[in-house]
Structure 1
Amino acid sequence: MQISQKNLSEKQDLIYDVIVVGGGAGGLSAGIYLQRYRLSSLIIDKGKARSFWMQELHNYLGLPPDTPGRVLLQKGKEHFLSLDGDLLNGYVEQVIDEGETFSVRVKVGRQNSVYPVFRTKYLIAASGIIDKLPMLDDMQNVYEYAGYNLHVCMICDGYEIIDKKCGLFVGSEANIPLVESVSWFTPKITVFTHGAFTVSEEMRLRLKSLGYQLVETPIKQFLGENHQMNGVELVNGETVELETGLIAMGSHYHNTYLQGITLEMQGNNLVTDKMGRTSHPRIFAIGDLKVGLNQVIVAAGDGALAATEIWREIRRNAGAKPWLENLSA
């Protein structure tokens, strides 16, 4: 059922088998499998999953290439709710390991917020990441093109930039070596630093040796129409013609609610086994939070794996169910 402030009290005393933090492709996939395994699950979704911004899913098996990410998510939520799963729109603030259960504190509502606590035996962290975008005075100008031909994932969209004039927008020098991978699809690369850092002489020479342009002047705005970016205007009034762009400025990881629990990390990612189990035996991580490939279709598979492993564990602990009528005959 869809949970809201009006019916929160109906679920306060329930101990779920699994709480899933995040309603993206991975979290919804996990929830669907959990419900089909006859387990009780609650998905807590803050809204606006990374895939929500994908205007067209060109690489998802079986879907028309013009399917928006938000359609995939809506269909997933409808499927989950049809299986009697619980869904709450809220922001998970804290998870506390209580031993046999976890307590999950949630902020519900942006105004007049309430802070219910739910309990669960297992936790699946599926809250994902959000990409850092170039900060402009008019951020709406960025959103006008992001997810169309201003991309954030080369694995997803490298095919879309083949032989086009591509702007690579980076947030640090550590991001610039991505040009090596971008050049597989197009060598027509201009690197934009937005004035955020100083490029080393060694890196300047490397870019020059490959014929790539380097623009360090901050960006005033993106240029284009009908969601198709065709260049940038710099703060000094100059313009640079482009046909596409790739943003590589890093990401925000939505995992702060786990800070009170010691978990093995690799950089900003949670380390898991092949089924998604973290270094804590009852916490699983799927999708962009874990070490691996950041892809919608991979996250959906991760959800199936984590849910299946949890079901296997609960099933083994419960043992076989007897056919009582036969035993009493």
Structure 2
Amino acid sequence: MDGMYDVVVVGGGAAGLSGALALARARRSVLVVDGGEPRNAPAEEMHNYLGRDDTAPGDLLATGRAEVAGYGGEVVRGDVVSATREDDGGFRATLADGRSVRARRLLVTTGLVDELPDVPGLRERWGHDVLHCPYCHGWEVRDRSIGVLSTGPGGVLKALLWRQWSADVTLFLHTGPEPSDDERAQLAARGIAVVTDEVAAVEADGDRLTGVRLASGRLVPRDALVVAPVFTARSGVLTSLGLAAEDVAAPDGHVVGSAVSAGPAGATAVPGVWVAGNVTDLMAQVITAAAAGLQAGGAINADLLFEDVRRAVAARQASAPPAGPELTLADPAQRN
């Protein structure tokens, strides 16, 4: 970690490794610093990744790290806690253990944290049969009994969406708002039951969800439970550079989480800093995060290229010998 890298990538998930791979193949010196806590670690498989459907998340990352290393990139374990701009225009990233590393550019792909509802037993089943994304997990629980836990606006829409995968869907209003008359008509038309009691706990038998325990004491058997986490960007490194995460709202206006805004290909408001993946796009799945990392890697390489050319031109001009007096040839007709 001595010396100056072209790029330090903060975060070694799909977005970070994809960006690092593109940069390493472009013959840039790249260091990936990864905390080793991927968001999808609880899941046994990932889906909707063309050509890699059903792959275990850890297997994808292990393959990605090997590919990056194969092109000369480096991957180290560690948590980057802050970054500062140096006088030469580069950056210094500081790790939690006190180590630091210098880079000309930064690509931050730290992802997000799923803040789950505070219901006993729920967190232990997260990523297995407590779920949030139907496109990630709907097929695996198709035609089974599904519960939808409402903790705010959007519960009705989520129940209607999951009805696509099963005819046995129950909406638990819990702490969410009462459905409107129109919403109740929609739920009834789709055969979705509504439970008004608050949920007291999520219960399991060994490695299997068994149901939802209500405050009244009644157990409603369910094979899967859908929740709506608050998606909070892991933005500490970016905050140290002056880039604050902003609230992200659903179409109906309620806040679903936070993210750091970015322009095309992940460029941020701080020159030299790019972002990719869930830290800037809450809805990005693994394949879209990887694509965003690739785009950011290409943009960073182009930015470095322009800087390399400017430096080369300036160095050439500085080393060129001073021009002497201009030599003028006389007209041959006047020589005699």
Range of TM-score over shorter length: 0.7 to 0.9
Matches within 5 A, 1:195-214: 197=175, 199-203=176-180, 206-207=183-184, 210-211=187-188, 212-214=193-195
1:72 alignment counterpart: 60
Distance 1:264 1:279 in 2: 12
Asked if structure 2 preserves the Cα contact closer than 8 Å seen for 1:272 and 1:291, the reply is no
Q: Secondary structure of 1:275's match?
A: helix
Deviation at 1:175, TM superposition (A): 5.1
Distance 2:185 2:219 in 1: 20
Deviation at 1:69, TM superposition (A): 0.9
Matches within 5 A, 1:99-248: 100-107=89-96, 114-137=97-120, 142-143=123-124, 145-173=125-153, 177-186=157-166, 188-192=168-172, 197=175, 199-203=176-180, 206-207=183-184, 210-211=187-188, 212-225=193-206, 227-234=207-214, 236-248=216-228
Distance 2:6 2:56 in 1: 32
Number of aligned residues: 297
Distance 2:130 2:300 in 1: 39
2:332 alignment counterpart: none
User: Is 1:252 paired with 2:232?
Assistant: yes
Unaligned residue ranges in structure 2 (runs of 5+) = 249-257, 313-336
Deviation at 1:101, TM superposition (A): 1.4
Distance 1:84 1:266 in 2: 38
Distance 1:64 1:178, change over 3 A: closer
Identity of aligned residues (%): 24
Deviation at 1:173, TM superposition (A): 3.6
Asked if structure 1 preserves the Cα contact closer than 8 Å seen for 2:232 and 2:259, the reply is no
2:24 alignment counterpart: 35
TM-score scaled by structure 1? 0.78
Amino acid at match of 2:237: Y
Q: Secondary structure of 1:248's match?
A: coil
Deviation at 1:89, TM superposition (A): 1.7
User: Is 1:314 paired with 2:304?
Assistant: yes
1:172-204 deviations in whole A, cap 9, x for unaligned? 3455543343334345333346x5x4x444558
Deviation at 1:162, TM superposition (A): 3.6
2:289 is matched with which residue: 294, 299, 302?
299
Unaligned residue ranges in structure 1 (runs of 5+) = 1-10, 108-113, 322-329
Deviation at 1:265, TM superposition (A): 4.4
Deviation at 1:37, TM superposition (A): 1.1
Deviation at 1:222, TM superposition (A): 2.3
Asked if structure 2 preserves the Cα contact closer than 8 Å seen for 1:132 and 1:250, the reply is yes
Cα RMSD, aligned residues only: 2.9
